[in-house]
Amino acid sequence: MTPLLQIDNLSLFYGTDQVVRDLSFSIGRGESFGLVGESGSGKSSIANVVIGDMPKIARARGSVRYDGVDLLSASPEQLRALRGRRIGFVQQDPGASLNPTMRIGRQLLEALEQSDIPVRARSENVAEMLSRVGFDNPGAIMARYPHQISGGQQQRVMIAMALLPKPDLVLLDEPTSGLDVTVEAAVIELISDLRTQFGTSLLFISHNLHLVSKACDRVGVLYAGDLVEEAPAGLIFEAPRHPYTQGLVRCLPGQSAVLQPIRGHVPSPSERGPGCLFASRCAYHSSASCDQPFDATTMEASHRVHCARLGEIPAFESVAGVPEVAALNDAPPIVTIRKLRKSYPASGRELFLANDDIDLDIRQSEILGLVGESGSGKSTLAKIIAGFDVATSGSVLIGGTDIARLPVRRRKRGLLRQVQMVFQNPDSTLNPTHTIGWTLGRAIRKLETGHLSRQSIRSRAREMLGLVALLPGLASRKPKALSGGQRQRVAIARALSGKPQLLLADECVSALDVSVQAAIVELLQDLRQRTGTAILFISHDLALVRQISDRIVVMFRGKPMEIGSASQVYSLPLHPYTEALLSAGTGKAEVINPAAVERPKQASGGCPFVERCGRVVGEICWTQKPGYQNAGPGHEIYCHIPPAELIELQKASHAGILIAG
Amino acid sequence: MLNFALRRLSQLLLTAIVSSFLLFVVTEFSPGTVSRQILGPYALPNQVAQLDEKLGLSQSLPRRYLNWVSVLVGLKANPLGDPALGLDLHDSRGERYFGNFGYSLMFKQPVRDVLGEPLRNSALLGAVAMIFIVPLSLLIGILAGANAGTRLDWSISSLCLIITAIPEYAAGVILLTVFVSYLGWLPGTSPLLASEQWSVASQLVLPVTVLALATVGYVARIVRASMAETMTKPFVRTALLKGLSKRQIVTRHVIRNGMIPPLTVLLLQLNWMVGGVVVCESIFAYPGVGRLLLQAGLFGDLALVQTITLLSLAMAGVTQLVADISYVALNPRVRLT
């Protein structure tokens, strides 16, 4: 039987730049195929070719056959018919993918316009599909506007929309980027559920290797437009053969004890030669065999690798294990947070509590990880410490000064030096009209107390560049000339120029590719060692936080649920919320009620987590606030259930799964 | 929604007070006083000062403003109407009434009597012009924006740019030369009196055309930009992926979203009509408010200038209010808090 989608020797050019080179793969009926690649690998361009929506400057060569029809030579009418009925597409950013001025029901009905279903039955069809993607009340959802539902719900609507015409193939382009971990897990589960129900084929495109290997049968790894390796999903982690895939697995947090970044950068289209594109970053590179075009080698079990020196590449050895546990740090706290509270007026007379009586110490030269889903108040906390926002009540003591209600404009220079921040997006934090040297020099001038000569500022700026492992020559460049990772290094150098006591890093690597991300994490750890700066590392990525942090705080709706050392929190997650978060991250059984995930309501009297908790013990959880219980040295949980009992409960539910399985 | 409208309305009131004060200050500081105008250039300075005293013009600026507002809302009588001054100014509506704009010294009549007829004429001109401007500029803008980057878009955009760049007086003169002098199809002036040769309707053609030319290009370009931007939004791609045709995508998904930003601009064009028709009305000797404003300005008729300016301020406020409210109505995302 011919495959549903067969791509042969596809090359794609944008103008004179080649973005995809000699790509071949196929997807059988009912099969799911994942394409993984970092930014600039051409993965979204491939999706655009399949749906026939390419930019005007694009030229494609090769063949893309969908059920016998060549998509590259199909007429616009043929393509339109395919899109409406046979190929579904789920885009990234569900919020922007729905028309903000049209009710959801109408938008869903439109997806059925090309189908043969009689008009009268369509509404029913839509309602049925909505209930299948997990909405209890389809009628109510259909009457809403997109902004009135949450991001996870929006993505469910998009999935329903793609599935409505009962297509043979659904393309998913980064369907979970921007969603919380728990929501992401629910969406992935929904997708694989629906796939078994409808027998739909999937083309899953993502930068996230974990996710793709979980959701797909086979995985293809893209690098700079080349498909470097194609393998059954299980093999990608266990036995990757291409040096790039091996490198990628090594720099994934949670995969090995130490992150090993891939050095160098993805070659830009003008730097690409005829041979292996990974050559410039490859440890096994030999110009004799790698610099001319060569064919991919097929190994057993549909495992294909595009490498000229495959014979010489050693088999992958995973350095499995947990990250090294740092000795418990007993250094004195440099920041003491007590009863910190921040509330915003919400609808009506209610208050939205972004930070709810937080007590927290940040110790000297430690890396404190702060995890939580969006809306948990982790960024609010960072903003208050940095002075971009002021607390409603409570105190944040640093060196004897309370800065909880001291906005950044009113902070003295000495205080400004002590707390600095690195932001999420390095592209927008650096002024594009100034050189890197100017930006750093200005930070040095503003934070230094004494008068500095022009010469000494310049040498300090170079010194800062050296500190973050950048060449001093970059000082004369503008941000545009730097890669994303280099820009984030500059942003870190800027923050460190005043030798701060505390560095706030709010999602500072989440906009970067994994290979670059690993290098920045390495840099932060190294800087902490060398400068003694404490780092508050805020992220939604659990594996990453574990990799970098000494201690971890798990936040939920403005309240720390669990505080402890990294190994305590990860090896023995006691609080039901931490347990749910970690199981969502690894795909283990969930102890949360998925239908309740998306009801962002504030519990009034009791525990903030009560609505989603799988371990509610009774009325007390709804009516009384729990206190902090000690579960070990430096390990605290915010729960009514005693730690010992929680351990018993966890054992029982794991046993239950074993029996059921 | 009601709450929002009420709050907006109170803001409008505040704006009205502040802007009327500024307007008062600016006109009061213009050269020449009312007394000097009444008494003529040969009057002695002490005579002028005496009249100033009688009219309350020697008081402080805030007091004079208060007097002016009191007359306006009908709390005080206008000192100019005092028969003791012998100026022979009468108001058939009485001494005190709401909306007393004072006397026009140029016409020796109450401003309200002077303004009535031109106001109606200008409203007619503006309404007819808007009837053409709104659909034309939307149509052109949507057509260009939905086909952004094509040759059609390019031609429409450049044509609009050229038309916008032609000032009204130049457009007026060109149209006059072609349609009146050469072809003789249309009348050269528009006194709005039906003559044997030219009907009132034919007299409206050229003024309306000049106004439309000046506005359509500008508004169409704004509509085009907003439409073109909306065309690149992910939800438009979603619609494409549902297999909808281009026409369906544009009419269902792009127009409503793309119309939200240009709406304010379109409504503000109404204001421009009030003030900016001066040139147009002068060219065609059209008996409207714009021409009246020009005459009043040249004569130095303070009360008339103040009144017309005040009316266009009020119009600006009201159109802005309408724009805000329709913005909310078009955009369900705007939270009314």
**pTM, 2 dp:** 0.76
> Each residue of B271-301: pLDDT tens digit?
777 666 788 888 888 888 888 888 888 888 8
Chain A, nearest residue to B259 by Cα? A101
> Each residue of A200-218: pLDDT tens digit?
999 999 988 888 888 899 9
Collect all residues with Cβ–Cβ distance below 8 Å to A576 and sequence separation of at least 6.
Answer: A591, A592, A609, A613, A614, A615, A639, A646
> Each residue of A508-517: pLDDT tens digit?
888 788 888 8
Residue A42 in tokens = 């051409």
pLDDT at res. A661: 39
Taking an 8 Å cut-off on Cβ atoms, the answer to whether B243 and A347 are in contact is no
ipTM for this prediction? 0.73
Residue A563 in tokens = 């505080």
Partner residue opposite A97 with nearest CB, options B149, B234, B252:
B234
> Each residue of B73-89: pLDDT tens digit?
888 888 887 777 777 77
Q: Would you say residue A421 has pLDDT above 80?
A: yes
Q: Would you say residue A279 has pLDDT above 90?
A: no
Among B301, B298, B282, B302, CA closest to B290? B282
pLDDT at res. A632: 85
- Structure-model confidence comparison of residues A375 and A371, the more confident one: A371
pLDDT at res. A321: 60
A426 contacts A511 by C-beta, under 8 angstroms: yes
Partner residue opposite A93 with nearest CB, options B234, B239, B252:
B234
A98 touches B at CB < 8 Å = yes
Mean pLDDT of A95-101: 89
Return the CATH superfamily for domain B113-330: MetI-like (1.10.3720.10)
d(CA A579, CA B335): 37
Mean pLDDT of A190-204: 87
With vertex at residue B161, the alpha carbon angle to CA B155 and CA B165, rounded to the nearest 5 degrees, is 145
Residue A241 in tokens = 């053969």
Residue with tokens 């017309």: B308
Q: What share of chain A is helix, strand, coil (3-state, %, to 5)?
A: 40, 20, 40
Distance from the A150 Cα atom to the nearest Cα atom in chain B, whole angstroms:
14
Least confidently predicted of A301-305, B4-8, B264-268, B291-295? B264-268
A241 contacts A316 by C-beta, under 8 angstroms: yes
Distance from the B237 Cα atom to the nearest Cα atom in chain A, whole angstroms:
8
Which range is most confident: A360-369, A419-428, A594-603, B41-50?
Answer: A360-369
Average pLDDT of chain A is: 84
Query: Sheet of A333-345: strands edge to edge?
Result: A351-363, A333-345, A393-398, A401-402
Taking an 8 Å cut-off on Cβ atoms, the answer to whether A80 and B245 are in contact is yes
Partner residue opposite A96 with nearest CB, options B235, B240, B252:
B235
Residue B106, exposed/middle/buried by CB under 10 A (0-12, 13-18, 19+)? middle
pLDDT at res. A320: 59
> Each residue of A106-143: pLDDT tens digit?
999 999 888 888 888 899 999 998 988 888 888 888 99
Q: Would you say residue A261 has pLDDT above 90?
A: no
pLDDT at res. A106: 92
B240 touches A at CB < 8 Å = yes
For an interface test with A, which of B151, B231, B235, B263 has the most A Cβ atoms less than 10 Å from its Cβ? B235
Indicate the pairing of strand A367-371 with strand A551-556.
parallel
A145 touches B at CB < 8 Å = yes
pLDDT at res. A590: 45
Q: Would you say residue B337 has pLDDT above 60?
A: no
A24 contacts A192 by C-beta, under 8 angstroms: no
User: CA separation (Å) from A646 to A565, A573, A615, A617, B54?
Assistant: 18, 10, 9, 11, 93
Q: Could you give all domains of chain A from N- to C-terminal order, each with its CATH number?
A: 5-216 (3.40.50.300), 243-312 (no CATH), 333-552 (3.40.50.300), 572-660 (no CATH)
Calculate what percentage of chain A has a pLDDT beyond 90.
22
Taking an 8 Å cut-off on Cβ atoms, the answer to whether A91 and B238 are in contact is yes
Residue with tokens 């640093």: A398
A126 contacts A166 by C-beta, under 8 angstroms: no
Partner residue opposite B240 with nearest CB, options A53, A56, A113:
A53
Chain B, window 91-110: residues with a beta carbon less than 8 angstroms from a chain A beta carbon: none
Q: What is the three-class DSSP state of A539?
A: strand
For an interface test with B, which of A99, A115, A129, A166 has the most B Cβ atoms less than 10 Å from its Cβ? A99
Mean pLDDT of B129-157: 91
Taking an 8 Å cut-off on Cβ atoms, the answer to whether A100 and B239 are in contact is no
Q: Which sequence spans correspond to the domains of chain B?
A: 113-330
**Residue type at position B159:** L
Distance from the A151 Cα atom to the nearest Cα atom in chain B, whole angstroms:
15
- Structure-model confidence comparison of residues B234 and A351, the more confident one: B234
Taking an 8 Å cut-off on Cβ atoms, the answer to whether A110 and B235 are in contact is no
Calculate what percentage of chain B has a pLDDT beyond 70.
97
Distance from the A100 Cα atom to the nearest Cα atom in chain B, whole angstroms:
7
Residue A71 in tokens = 């998509």
Q: Would you say residue A263 has pLDDT above 90?
A: no
Partner residue opposite A113 with nearest CB, options B233, B244, B257:
B244
pLDDT at res. A553: 94
pLDDT at res. A591: 46
Chain B, nearest residue to A98 by Cα? B235
Partner residue opposite A110 with nearest CB, options B149, B244, B257:
B244
Categorize the per-residue pLDDT at B41 as very low, low, confident or very high, splitting at 50, 70 and 90.
confident
Partner residue opposite A97 with nearest CB, options B235, B252, B256:
B235
Collect all residues with Cβ–Cβ distance below 8 Å to A509 and sequence separation of at least 6.
Answer: A488, A516, A517, A520, A521, A539, A544
User: CA separation (Å) from A89 to A52, A94, B173?
Assistant: 12, 12, 57
**Residue type at position A554:** V
B232 touches A at CB < 8 Å = no
> Each residue of A2-41: pLDDT tens digit?
889 999 999 999 888 888 988 999 999 989 999 998 877 8
Mean pLDDT of B131-141: 91
> Each residue of A622-651: pLDDT tens digit?
888 888 998 888 899 999 989 888 888 888
Mean pLDDT of A488-515: 88
The neighbour count for residue A617, using CB atoms within 10 Å, is 12
- Structure-model confidence comparison of residues A537 and A311, the more confident one: A537
Categorize the per-residue pLDDT at A660 as very low, low, confident or very high, splitting at 50, 70 and 90.
very low
What pairs with residue A304 in β-bridges?
A: A230, A298
pLDDT at res. B274: 66
d(CA B311, CA A634): 73
Residue with tokens 């291409």: A242
Chain B, nearest residue to A164 by Cα? B242
